[in-house]
Each structure stands twice: as structure tokens, then as C-alpha cells.
Amino acid sequence: MLDFPVLRRYPRRQVRAIALPVGGIGTGCFCLTGEGALSDWQLMSRPHRGWRPPYAHLLLWVRTPSDKRHLRVLSSALEQLDADHGAPDSLSGIPRMHSRGFEATYPYGRALLGDLILPLHASITAFNPLIPEATDDSSLPFGLLEITLTNLSERPLEASLTFILTNFVGTDGIQSDLRGNITDFAEAHGWQGVLFRKEPEQRDPRWGTLALLAEGGEITSARRWAFRDRPWNGEQLGIIKTLLDTGALPDEDPHQACPPSDERGWDSSVSVRFEVPASGQHIVRFLLCWHFPYRNLHELGWWQGKPDADPIVRNHYALCFADALEVARSVIPRLNELHQRTLAFVQSILGRKELPDSFKESALNCLAVLKSPTVFRSEDGTFAGFEGCNATTGCCHGSCTHVWNYEQATLNLFPDLHRSMLESHLTYGLTEEGAQRFRLDLPPTDPTWSLSAVDGQMGLVVRVYQQYLRDGDEQWLRARYPKVKRMLEFAWCAGAWDADQDGIMEGIQHNTYDVEFVGPNPLCQSWYMAGLCAGEKMARLVGDEAFAQQCRRLFEQGSEWTDQHLFNGEYYVQQMRNAKEPSHPNVTAWHPYPTPPPFQMGEGCLIDQLIGQYKANRAGLGDLFQREHILKALESIWRYNFRKNFHQHYNPMRTYATGDESGVVLCAYPHAPMPYPPFPYWAECWTGLEYAFARLLWDYGFHSEAEQVVQAVRDRHDGSRRNPFNEPECGSYYARCMSAWSLVE
């Protein structure tokens, strides 16, 4: 049984927005919704939020002792009704159950259902393993659904569960070709069901195989139904009548091979029949396994190849198996083991009595990014990620350094993935002078992206040191140290950020706000100080004492200058300056740069003015500035940027907090006027920054304030208005939110 300790219970009025991703790292996923439906089928190497095949339903049949028969869709709500044509759901005319809430401790989720007539409760538990330092076992392409029926009466009930699923090989809801689909009977270790496939092989993301298998009773598998071509919605009438009569959907002709389908494809089902004992329970398990080997980087939005180059690549996970049925044969004997190891992981987090539950929930829930289409692994195992997901494409390509620098999850849980992304940037992202392109192109050997970002570059330096601390591999560090050194030295190039080598970022500084701050500012300066400290540590480790001393000198000068000139008595501000020409070609695309510079922060109170300190603390680098100034700045961010509500807040950009909700805005202007125009995102709330700020508050003893910041995020993602397992910024499943893992380190 998939028992797990429940960290969060969502009442039935707070389940509408819940969609829990189920899938492996880099394999795609589907979602279990708060209402018990199966949605967001994103198995074919592409996002398509909200899509599901024409049939993807669980149906419950019950016969009472008085021979009264009932049929229910195992979900609590219809999709939104269409005023002209009724509900769009393909089985909208079959009665539903009602929600009793949702329970979760990611990666586990459980939808709870009841019925107004039938004396039973149902629950649907979803599972895919998440096991630290076991990347391959956490990257298995399957989802297990465990349905538990509880008989509330004192007499046994006859029942069956039927999983109806369209053979959707060939369609991801965006592009579609269902011709030539074949559905076969399938069996693995006593589990029975169907296998979807298409012949012949096509070099296309929508080509592959999917297996649906079940255990837990008498199983009837149907590759296609006899009532398929009946007019006037006769197919759905056939489903209803046949299930009500027999509790199962039979195959049209089980003794004949399934022919290739026409353009309509095939619809299939697996039925499990059983008895639920009086005042007892019965469990049925459905296993979905998939194997879609190809990924089209062009249609995903991550391809800079020449017009005649092939944008199709193979997924790493698909190299481990021949097809979906082999996935099933591999994982079925291991289901209990994978569950127990995942359970041990979540219990280790829940057992941290010194931490608030909101910290644990945020840390675990944000790991859903790793199970989403935001990330993938290419054929050679290279780990890559968008910033997030648009509705049908990736959002912002390139394993963007100034976004991925914030996350702590991969380093701590899957250090091989963290190392893979680092090595990609060090191998393919570095110019001869040491500028680090903050977006990696694919194919990586012919880069077109040219810009470097201060926060991306300096954060990458710190991450290399963190990787060394995590692995303890001095040989690995020595091999990469020359490139790390070049990245720091680039800051001192003519026209770059610290050309006069005084420890102060004065040049044009591209950063995570998608603009360039001109003049010394705390965001880039704190990253610079962290990079210098990490550079000093690494230089001493490899015996480069002269460079270590240079990093130390610049750090001491820069830190002292920052405290003297950027700290205004409450927090750190920017000294706005005009750009000096000529600027280095890798730091800005503006030639010449506008005067005065637009999109600055000025004398605002910035949420991540100490973001370098956040990363420095994770790497054990110590205080970057005077301790009393750090404490005062954190107090000021809390005082000026935290909003108990947003009734009087004006935001010209994206809205991630509104009304009675609470949150921390990116920049506040309590004393000085706002520059016009300011940097674009100043009025927004980004959870990835809120978590980093909360971690800093906790680091320096502001525990109550840290708890309130994190609780505000959790309250905004409470299942009623926003999905607790998807924290968007620029796109869904945004990578920066994995800074939440720092809360439980």
C-alpha cells in the first residue's frame, strides 16, 4: 500500500487548482488533480498544460446486494460548462462523485472522494519515486495510481474499476496523427492490460509506446470496442450500458490481431472486477508506463541550429528501455522498494521538528519542477532546463544561470545533475576572454548567444565551489579551476564590470531582472563579493596563492566600499551612473548605451539586495558585509517590502499576489522617488526570491519573520486559486522556486 505521512490536507473547497505532476526527472508527466481527474498529459517531450486525450478516465461500477447498479466517473467535478454545447468532457453525462479533499506530501498525492448515494469512499493515490542521490531511479517513466475503496456498509459490495484511455500515440494535443496506431494485449509479472504503439518507427516526439496495466482483481482488457461506430454518440451509450450491465468493457474480437487504426485512432480500456468486503477495503492499482524516445528542440523553443540541421534529439531515459512494456517489467518487482526509499526521504524531512511545516511543504512541493517539462536530459545524460514552461513550449531556454543559480535542490539531492549543468556552461558557455553566456544554445558547439550576466557569472563561480564541497573531488576542481579563474578575470576586462579592479561593480551589469543596472548596486555587488570569496577558496585549494590574494584584496576593498557608500542607514541602494563607452560587447546589446540609463532600481529597497549573501551562506563563505548592516537591511526589507495585503498596491506587470493575500514585493521605495521608468518587475512577487529572503532571515535569527514570508507563499498556493505544486514566474514550474530547498538544508 502507498501509505505516507500527510504533510498537508486541503479541504474540498481548496482542490480546484491542484494538479500534482506524476513522472520521472526528464521523462514528462501527467497530473492527478485535486478532484481526482487525470490531466496535463505531457509525456511527449513537450509542455501542454491542461491537455488530456479524449478518454483518460477512471470509472467505478458498483452493484449493491439488492442488485441496484451504479456507474460513476471517479472524479468530483466536470470541466467548465459550454453555454452552447454543454460540457466538453467526453463522459460528462455520467454521474460524478464528490470531493472530500486532497492529501499530499510531495511526491505523494491523494484525492479523496465520496458519494451521495453509495455507501463507500474512494481515494486515488499517485506515486513516482523521488530518491536523493538515485537519479536513475528518480527518472523512471511511470506513474502508479492506487485506488482504495472503503465500504461503509455492513454488507459486501460488488464493484469494478475501469480505466478508459485513448491510444494517443501520435498526438500531444498540438500536432496529431493517430493513423496506424495499434493496441496489443500486455502482461508483466501478473499485471494485465494493454500496450499502445505505432508502426513503423518515426523520428518524432509523438512516436513511442505506452503501457496501461492493472492488478487487484479479475481483469478484462479491451483494445477496442464493438460499439465504436454507432451514430448519435452511440459509443458513449455503449460504454454506459455495457458497464452498467457487466462492470467491464470487453474487447471487440480478442482472438484477432488489432489492425492499424484509421485517423480516429483506437480507444481502449482495462477493467478490474472485485468485491469490497463489509466494513472493509479493497485496493486496485493501475500502472502507466511510457517510452517516447525523441525530442524536437525547435518546436520546444530551444534550437539555434542552422536551417538544414536536425533539431531532433533522443531522451536519456529512453536509452534504458526498449519500450513501455520493458519499463513495466523493470519497475513492477521494485514498486515496494521504490516506495519505501521515497518514503524514507520524505520522512527524513518531516522529522525535522525544529522547522515549520510551511518550510517542509515549500521545499518538497517545489521539487515538482524536476518532474515537469521544464527539465530534460539529452542522450549523453546532460541535464538541461528552461526557466519554466509556457502552455505548449519551454519558457526562456538555456539553463539560464541567473535563474538556476538560486536553486539548491539539485546540488543537495541530485549532485550529478547539478554538476552536469555546471559542466555544460563551463564547456560551451565560456568565451576566450572568460565571459559566461548566461544562456546555452543547442546545439552547444556553435553558440549564438553572446551576453553575460553579472549575477549569472558570479553565481556560477560560487556553484563550482559548492559542487566541490558537495563531492570533495579535488581533481574535478583542479580541472575546472582555469575556467573559473577566467570568469572572475573577465570582470576586470576593459569595458566590463570592474575594469579598474577596485572591487566595485561600476559598469553595465545585465542581471536577472532582464535589464542592465548601471552603476554600483547591491544585487550585483553582493554576487561579486560571493564570487571573489569562492574564487579565493578555490585558488588556495589548487595552490594559486597570488590569485587568492588578489581575490581577497578586491573583496575587502569592495565590501568596505559597499558598506560606506551603498548602505543608507537602513538598506543598500544603487548609485545610478551613466554608462562609460566603449562597453565590452559581452555585457550589453545597447551600443551606444542610453543616457540616462532606463530601468534602474535607484534608491529602492530590493528584496534580493543580499542575494550573494544567501548563496555565500550556503557555501560557508561568511559575511560579505558588516553584520550590523546585514541585520538592518533584512529588517528593512521585512518592514518595507512585505505586504499583509495588496488592496493598495499598484502593479503594472504580472500579478502573483492580490487582494487579501500576503507577499514580499521585489522593490519598495519608502523614502526616495522611484526612477522612471523603473526596472520592469519591481512590483511583482516571485516565490524564488521570497524563499531566498526567508532563508536569509532564518540564517540571521529572524525566525518569526521567515515563517511569515514562507506561510504567505503557501497561503497564496492553497489549492483554491493556485496550484500548490506549480509556482510560476516567467512560465509554469519555474526553476527559481527550488531555492525553497535551502529552507530545509
Question: Buried b vs exposed e over 405-432: b needs ≥16 C-beta within 10 Å?
Answer: bbbbbbbbbbbebbbbbbbbbbebbbee
pLDDT classification of 226: cutoffs 50, 70, 90: confident
What confidence tens digit (pLDDT) does each residue in 48-70 have?
999 999 999 999 999 999 999 99
Residues 6+ away with beta carbon under 8 Å from 601: 517, 521, 523, 573, 574, 667, 675, 678, 679, 682
Answer whether 8-335 and 352-576+597-744 agree in fold.
Answer: no
- Rounded mean pLDDT, 513-539: 98
At 327 the pLDDT is 98
d(CA 370, CA 407) in angstroms, rounded, equals: 11
At 580 the pLDDT is 84
At 87 the pLDDT is 59
At 307 the pLDDT is 87
At 89 the pLDDT is 62
Contact 509, 518 (CB under 8 A): yes
d(CA 336, CA 341) in angstroms, rounded, equals: 9
CATH number corresponding to 352-576+597-744: 1.50.10.10
- Rounded mean pLDDT, 196-219: 97
Provide the residue ranges of all domains of the chain, joining segments of one domain with +.
Answer: 8-335, 352-576+597-744
What confidence tens digit (pLDDT) does each residue in 304-337 have?
998 889 999 999 999 999 999 999 999 999 999 9
pLDDT classification of 151: cutoffs 50, 70, 90: very high
At 403 the pLDDT is 98
- Rounded mean pLDDT, 614-621: 98
For the ranges 140-144, 304-308, 559-563, the lowest mean pLDDT is seen at 304-308
Average pLDDT, rounded, for the chain: 96
What confidence tens digit (pLDDT) does each residue in 238-260 have?
999 999 999 999 999 999 999 99
- Rounded mean pLDDT, 653-680: 96
- Percentage of the chain beyond pLDDT 70 is 99
Contact 603, 661 (CB under 8 A): no
CATH 2.70.98 fits 8-335, yes or no: yes
> Does the N-terminal peptide bond of residue 200 adopt cis geometry, omega within 30 degrees of 0?
yes
- pLDDT(80) > 60: no
pLDDT classification of 581: cutoffs 50, 70, 90: confident
- pLDDT(235) > 70: yes
> Does the N-terminal peptide bond of residue 582 adopt cis geometry, omega within 30 degrees of 0?
yes
- pLDDT(640) > 60: yes
- Percentage of the chain beyond pLDDT 90 is 93
- pLDDT(84) > 70: no
pLDDT classification of 81: cutoffs 50, 70, 90: low
One-letter amino acid identity for 411? L
- pLDDT(470) > 60: yes
- pLDDT(148) > 70: yes
